[in-house]
């Protein structure tokens, strides 16, 4: 695979001499958290700022995943990058890649993924902690944005696989709330219809206990394109509740 570099970021990276793999790999940065170790290697995330713009630079070495299609293994970032590009092609709102590249040398397999930071956005987990302080219009806007994001995702035939509050980022604009997704590594095709859709949505509801039944009905109503008090919404609410109780019982 040849290196990917977003065209609208090329001039900026060139001005700083950071438009190739080796330059980005050698850049001295502080990690934002402890590196992941295992799989025979390591993976770490760094913060980078250039001319007032924020980015996350993720590097890994010999941090591979093995699948039937790639039995010899590939960097976990490779799958994430493919999914970022797939979401972009399908029109699913998600984080944007700036750079991706891989190198094999001296028996080591290195990979690097750079994405734009979502500095103007807040994750849903943070907003849920503030839920009691939010006004009714803000709550409904957030719920509707999450529902529309899920509907767009599933209509495009994709299952996120980790549809959690910490992976949904939102921002408020004059025209309303907008939402997008991060952490796309576990994305897969939606193959089992409603079963897959319920499976994707249930973790979100389980991790948002602050949401009332009225909140859930509003979210599902927007998702299904039905009135909040309709029979389809009641059916989905019951199915999701049943699945949630099974999960919690485990």
Q: What is the pLDDT of residues 183-192, one digit of tens each?
A: 999 999 999 9
pLDDT reported for residue 40: 81
Q: 102: which residues sit within 8 A by CB, 6+ positions away? A: 1, 75, 78, 109, 110, 111, 112
The span from the CA of 36 to the CA of 119, in Å, is: 24
Q: Where in the chain is the domain with CATH 3.30.200?
A: 4-116
* CA 55 to mean position of chain CA atoms: 15
pLDDT reported for residue 117: 97
CATH fold for the domain made of 122-249? Transferase(Phosphotransferase); domain 1 (1.10.510)
pLDDT reported for residue 1: 59
Kindly give the parts of the chain with pLDDT less than 70.
1
Compute the mean pLDDT over every residue in the chain, rounded to the nearest whole number: 95
Q: Is residue 188 a contact partner of residue 158, using CB atoms and an 8 Å limit?
A: yes
pLDDT reported for residue 72: 74
Residue pointed to by tokens 């790999």: 25
Helix and strand totals (H; E) in the chain = 8, 13
The span from the CA of 203 to the CA of 84, in Å, is: 22
pTM above 0.85, yes or no: yes
For 4-116, CATH number out of 3.40.30, 3.30.200, 3.40.1350, 2.30.30 equals: 3.30.200
pLDDT reported for residue 107: 86
The span from the CA of 231 to the CA of 109, in Å, is: 53
pLDDT reported for residue 66: 84
């Amino acid at each position: 695979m040849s290196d990917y570099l977003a065209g609208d970021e090329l001039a900026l990276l060139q001005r700083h001499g950071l438009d190739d793999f080796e330059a980005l790999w050698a850049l001295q940065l502080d990690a934002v958290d402890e590196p992941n170790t295992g799989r025979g290697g390591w993976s770490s995330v760094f913060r980078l700022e250039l001319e007032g713009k924020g980015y996350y630079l993720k590097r890994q070495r010999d941090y591979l995943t093995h699948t039937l299609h790639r039995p010899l293994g590939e960097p976990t970032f490779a799958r994430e990058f493919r999914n970022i590009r797939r979401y972009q092609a399908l029109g699913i709102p998600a984080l944007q890649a700036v750079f991706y590249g891989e190198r094999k040398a001296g028996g080591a397999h290195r990979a690097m993924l750079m994405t734009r930071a979502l500095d103007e956005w807040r994750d849903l987990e943070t907003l849920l902690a503030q839920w009691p302080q939010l006004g009714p219009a803000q709550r409904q806007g957030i719920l509707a944005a999450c529902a529309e994001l899920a509907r767009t995702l599933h209509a495009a035939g994709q299952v996120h696989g980790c549809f959690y509050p910490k992976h949904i980022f939102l921002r408020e604009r004059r025209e309303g709330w907008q939402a997008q997704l991060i952490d796309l590594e576990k994305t897969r095709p939606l193959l089992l219809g409603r079963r897959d859709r319920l499976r994707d949505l249930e973790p979100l509801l389980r991790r948002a206990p602050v949401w009332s039944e009225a909140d859930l009905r509003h979210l599902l109503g927007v998702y299904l394109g039905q009135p909040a008090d309709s029979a389809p919404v009641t059916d989905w609410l019951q199915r999701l509740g049943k699945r949630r109780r099974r999960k919690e019982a485990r």
